[in-house]
Amino acid sequence: VPKFKPSKFTVAEVTGMKWLTASLVSMVGFALFYGPQPINDLLLGIAFPIHAAIGASAPVTDYIPIRQYPKLRKFALFLLYGGTILTLYGCWVINTKDVGITAYISRLWHAREQKKLD
């Protein structure tokens, strides 16, 4: 059985994804413990979309082979990264012009309770 030696890019990507995941766990824990904080909301607004984009790009690269469907793969990645940029912008708008991501999610979480009180 031949040994597989991963490229430096693959190792860096996997290592970066592990660090990003670990940082997300700590940021979510911080948000649950301390509540809305502007710097934590900013970091969450950057880390979540990037984490989602890296995770969603794996099925695209796995199931749309570049040799068979080069245009479809390019288009799928274009849609994915375009959606990621729009998501980053949406998180920035929520953080700068509204209450912040943590308070916004809290507001959504308790929306049904608020409706019953009104």
Q: What's residue 60's pLDDT?
A: 95
Q: pLDDT by residue (tens digit) across 51-87? A: 999 999 999 999 999 999 999 999 999 999 999 999 9
For residue 10, CA distances in Å to 83, 96, 106 come to 24, 35, 37
Contact indicator for 23, 47 with CB cutoff of 8 Å: yes
The HSE-up count of residue 114 (CA atoms within 13 Å, CB side) is 6
Contact partners, residue 106, CB within 8 Å, separation at least 6: 35, 36
8-117 folds as 3 helical TM bundles of succinate and fumarate reductases (1.20.1300)
Whole-model pTM: value is: 0.83
Annotated binding-site residue numbers for a ubiquinone: 63
Annotated binding-site residue numbers: 51, 63
Ranges of each domain in the chain? 8-117
Annotated binding-site residue numbers for heme b: 51
Residue 27 has pLDDT above 80, yes or no: yes
